[in-house]
A and B are shown apart, each in its own frame.
Chain A
């Protein structure tokens, strides 16, 4: 099994939904990590000491941050700026880790490492997937969305 992309995979065990594209960017190696296992809110709550009111306050901060960090990452990949890609992938990884999105954070970490090594081929598509995941997680941190999806 190969895991080519990671989009929309953060809702707890669902298979990656985006098909592998022939001739597309080289896939990220599958490391056996289930994509963000467990519900997003539950993972975030576990990390934050089951403090729902704080998570309600953190949610909008997370959303604004990943919007900014994601846009900067995508812009850096478009511009082929390895240093900026490394920086923004690192920052986005930190945001993802903080809300317990371990698998997505790992993927951001791989982009960071690739950029540090100057390997930018195929990075744009991988970055787009991670940014998409980060935004999906923002939606899922919203208690209303969580209830509706449950």
Chain B
């Protein structure tokens, strides 16, 4: 397993490289700067990342933020090395995706044990769930493997391409949903699930007839009813899978058009009776709709989109979710800028 180490001090780097090399099955990949380390990860993929808080080219927090945007690195354990006992630094680091901390100077025994434990966790997270394996040969509905999720994402993209109302995403819905979940204090597993599940919200539109989906003028009451069925169709498609990601995706597909005041669809649920993942994605979907270019509608600036969402707090949207969105928007915009840098 590959352990990426980034520290600008060659003495520390040499010691950590040596200690990692002594852990069974671990190979150290050492870099003095953040950017080459990120480039290596992008190309090869790391199983564990160890990064110094102070780097000359980008600070440790930004490094972690960037790592989390790389495909396959969303859940890679990240150990941050810091001499800082500043609670605010640590809180921020955890919020940005740090798994744990190591104190400087690194203690040989503690360092080795942490690396070993993190790699074990990483190996477990990549292994299929034994409960699913024990359930015998999987019917198609049982899979949780990434290929199947990828296939469903393809379907979601296909549905999106058919839908003229769907535009390019200014802020990725999965990232936004995850950030809001983190802000609401939901646990890391939930954050990881919602990040992967949110993009499937409209997968049910694959079953919406072209005559309705592509219609440029206003929909009749009957057509509107057909359009609204995409929530139930999506749920029907996804609910049969056991994978936690797809279970959550099914819930989101069904509930993301429910409204806090009970005027949404398909079940007209009210307040906290709407699953939290549905409430989060409802806000994210509104932001996405407002900030995307759509036929006859230019993209709305993020600030204007927020101004449009706010008055719907407590009517359309869960107030806590709107507050959380406002809190995490700067973080999401920084991430978007970093990706486009």
Contact = CB atoms under 8 A, between A and B. Distances in A.
Question: Which of A47, A51, A98 has the most chain B CB within a 10 Å cutoff?
Answer: A98
Interface string B1-36: 000000011111011001000000000000000000
Contact of A98 (B8, B54, B105): B105
A64 B10 contact: yes
B108 A94 contact: no
B173 to A, nearest CB: 40
B104 interface: yes
Interface size on B, as a range, is: 10 to 19
A47 B11 contact: no
A71 to B, nearest CB: 14
A28 B324 CA distance: 48
Contact of A97 (B10, B14, B105, B108): B105
A57 interface: yes
- How would you classify the secondary structure of chain B's contact residues: helix, strand, loop or mixed? helix
Interface string A85-96: 001001100110
A65 B105 CA distance: 16
Interface residues of A, number: 21
A22 interface: no
Interface string A67-109: 0010000000000000000010011001101110000000000
Contact of B108 (A47, A61, A62, A95): A47
Contacts of B104: 94, 97
A49 interface: yes
Nearest to B9: A94
A90 B15 contact: no
Contacts of B12: 94-95, 98
27 contacts: A47-B105, A48-B15, A48-B18, A49-B108, A51-B18, A57-B14, A58-B11, A58-B14, A58-B15, A58-B18, A61-B10, A61-B14, A62-B11, A64-B10, A65-B9, A87-B54, A90-B54, A91-B8, A94-B11, A94-B12, A94-B105, A95-B11, A95-B12, A97-B105, A98-B9, A98-B11, A99-B11
